[in-house]
Amino acid sequence: MKVFKFGGASLESIERIQLVAAILQSYPDQQLLIVISAMGKTTNELEKVAQNFYMRKREIAAQLLHNIEQQHLDVAEKLLGNRNNPVFEQLQQFFTEAEWTLGEKPLRQYDYYYDQLVSLGELLSTAIMSAYFNLAGIANTWLDVRDIFRTDDTFRDANIDWDWTQRNVTEKVLPLFKHTNIVIAQGFIGSTDQNESVTLGREGSDYSAAVFANLLNAESQTIWKDVEGLKNADPKLFPNTINIPEISFSEVIEMAYYGAQVIHPKTIKPLYLKHIPLYVKSFLNKDLPGTVIREDVDVKQLPPIIVLKKNQVLLTITSRDFSFITEDRISDIYEMFHKHKIKINLMQNAAISFSCCIDNSSEKIELLMKALHDDFKIAYFEGLELLTVRYNKDGLLEELSKDRTVLLEQRSPVTIQRLLK
Ligand SMILES: Nc1ncnc2c1ncn2[C@@H]1O[C@H](COP(=O)(O)OP(=O)(O)O)[C@@H](O)[C@H]1O
Ligand SMILES: N[C@@H](CC(=O)OP(=O)(O)O)C(=O)O
């Protein structure tokens, strides 16, 4: 059994969807569990629906949902040739459920409604892909992953209940392979024990695929991207990037943690624990070798690795009464970050201050600043970039930070991080 994951970029046009079909046709007679994300930028569009709904701008929310509906019906019609396929009823059902949600009064927390609405993207894309593949002779079974992935109720960042999910995979997913070699499921979503939809965190479909790979004891997982494989830097940000044919789990978990957006950071652990190799391959050219990520790959063959995280904020938190920032105070500050779900990307402390770099999420930061206000003065700088270089070589770091002001810097023998203005 292999697990494949196709992301939004691979489904953003009819031509690309046809490339995906050709990939599946090149794996005849193999059992494939396929995890699919929402098409193109649908998740961003659904986020706008959720925001407008919660701000009680119902008409705008309904109009945005209607636009998403039209786009999906158009794609489905182009792929399926007409609107007679039973999948159109299924799509209608999904939209009707979303409209019911829009009809509710938003009395619960925002994150709950976000998940009920945003989970629609993956349900639509998988239903359309499944119908299209079946029509193209790629026999498959569509699966609602919300019947399989049981989670807690941390909406927007739900945690998998591994025991329940393992039971569901064994009892409900494995038998499906008796009917077809291919089973298609949604990435990014799951459900609570109250049957409420949840999402697993933005870009979480790589992780969903890894959960399936782990629980199915798959022989491998492949994530099909618009790049030839894992590179030493994001080719959209840097020229002359180098493809990495082989790299270890531990190196990739560091890259993802520092912000390389090619693989979701939570993807590695479920694979590492079961020794399942992860392939990164190009859906644009399936015959390229891509990258294999596995255990025990020597770092000596690695080029310098560069990660650039944009839209960063520097917070400098200084005690108002000149108290030292000691362990107990750091622990209080950390507790506040944890409570407001803010991840610290880089930190440094001095006698009476604590500086850290975080992603720019203005609402969360505002609440954090209010919570710390009584005891601390807080300085705030936005519009920064966090540069991480591993295995630096002569002149590279200086070249990358040329004409920039360095606001924070941290070095270890392998990794250098600079917060740049
Ligand atoms: N080190 C890297 N190697 C390859 N691609 C990278 C790297 N860092 C960032 N990327 C970016 O990741 C993108 C692919 O990931 P993503 O857009 O999340 O795909 P999908 O949503 O289709 O799964 C590439 O287009 C590339 O710009
Ligand atoms: N559709 C979700 C989940 C995901 O992983 O998407 P993609 O595979 O396109 O990054 C998102 O955009 O966050």
Contact present, 69 and 120 (Cβ < 8 Å): no
Regarding whether 408 and 374 lie in a shared domain, the answer is yes
Task: Pull the structure tokens for residue 289.
Answer: 């070798």
Distance 225 CA to ligand 1 centre (A): 7
Judge if 286 and 374 occupy the same domain: no
Ligand 1 neighbour 266 (Cβ under 6 A): no
Q: Last residue of some domain: 281, 299, 317?
A: 299
User: Closest Cα to residue 53, out of 105, 121, 91, 111?
Assistant: 105
Q: In this structure, which amino acid lies at residue 22? A: A
Quickly count: other Cβ atoms within 10 Å of residue 225's Cβ: 23
**Helix or strand or coil: residue 287?**
coil
- Pairing relationship of beta strands 344-349 and 353-359 according to DSSP bridges: antiparallel
Residue 345 and residue 356: Cα distance in Å, rounded? 7
11, 34, 237, 261, best to mutate for ligand 1 pocket (most atoms within 8 Å of CB): 261
Q: Work out which ligand 1 atom sits closest to the CA atom of 231.
A: 3
In angstroms, what is the span from residue 42 Cα to ligand 2's centroid? 9
Last-in-domain residue among 242, 276, 299 = 299
User: CA 318 from chain center: how many Å?
Assistant: 34
CATH of the domain at 226: 3.40.1160.10
Q: What angle do the packed helices 87-103 and 58-80 form, to 10 degrees? A: 170
**Averaged in consecutive runs of 10 residues, what is the pLDDT profile of the chain (421 residues)?**
98 97 96 98 98 96 98 97 96 97 94 97 98 98 98 96 98 97 98 97 96 98 97 94 95 92 93 98 97 88 93 94 88 91 92 93 89 91 96 93 95 95 96
Tokens of 283: 């859906």
Is residue 393 in contact with ligand 1, taking CB distance under 6 Å? Answer: no
Question: For residue 344, what pLDDT is reported?
Answer: 93
166-172 LR contacts (CB < 8 Å, sep 24+)? 166/215, 169/212, 169/215, 169/216, 170/215, 172/147, 172/148
The answer to whether residues 369 and 286 belong to one domain is: no
Q: Is 235 in the pocket of ligand 1 (CB under 6 A)?
A: yes
| 326 CA distance to ligand 2 middle (Å) | 40
Judge if 133 and 261 occupy the same domain. Answer: yes
105 is in an annotated binding site: no
The CATH number linked to 402 is 3.30.2130.10
Ligand 2 cavity residues, CB under 6 Å: 7-8, 37-38, 43, 121, 187-188, 202-205
Q: Are residues 292 and 173 in the same domain?
A: yes
**How many A from CA of 63 to the centre of ligand 1?**
31
CB 264 within 8 A of CB 8: no
Residue in the structure block whose two tokens are 């540069």: 387
Q: Which two tokens stand for residue 73?
A: 């019906």
Indicate if 218 and 317 belong to the same structural domain: no
Q: Flag whether 103 is marked binding.
A: no
Q: How far is CA 289 from CA 276, 286, 304, in A?
A: 18, 8, 21
Please indicate if the annotation marks 246 as binding a ligand. Answer: no
Domain shared by 45 and 180, yes or no: yes
Going from the Cα of 150 to the center of ligand 1, the distance in angstroms, rounded, reads: 28
What is the Å distance from ligand 1's center to 279 Cα? 13
How many domains does the structure of the chain reveal? 2
388 annotated ligand-binding residue: no
Same-domain status, 109 and 244? yes
Ligand with smallest separation from the Cα of 10:
1
State the Cα angle at 76 between 70 and 78, rounded to 5°.
Answer: 100
- One domain for residues 189 and 90: yes
Range(s) of the domain holding residue 159: 2-299
For 110-131, b/e burial (b = at least 16 CB within 10 A) is bbbbbbbbbbbbbbbbbbbbbb
- Residues 375, 173: Cα–Cα separation, whole Å: 53
Please indicate, yes or no, whether residues 11 and 135 belong to a single structural domain of this protein.
yes
Sheet with 278-282, strands from edge to edge, namely: 140-142, 182-186, 32-36, 2-6, 220-225, 278-282, 291-294, 246-248
Single out the residue in 263, 283, 299 at which a domain terminates.
Answer: 299
Do residue 36 and residue 168 come from a single domain?
A: yes
Question: 14-19 long-range CB contacts below 8 Å, 24 or more apart?
Answer: 14/75, 14/78, 14/79, 16/283, 17/75, 17/79, 17/129, 17/132, 19/283, 19/284, 19/286
Same domain, 273 and 382: no
| Residue 8 marked in a binding site | yes
State the pLDDT at residue 296.
Answer: 83
Nearest ligand for residue 206 CA: 2
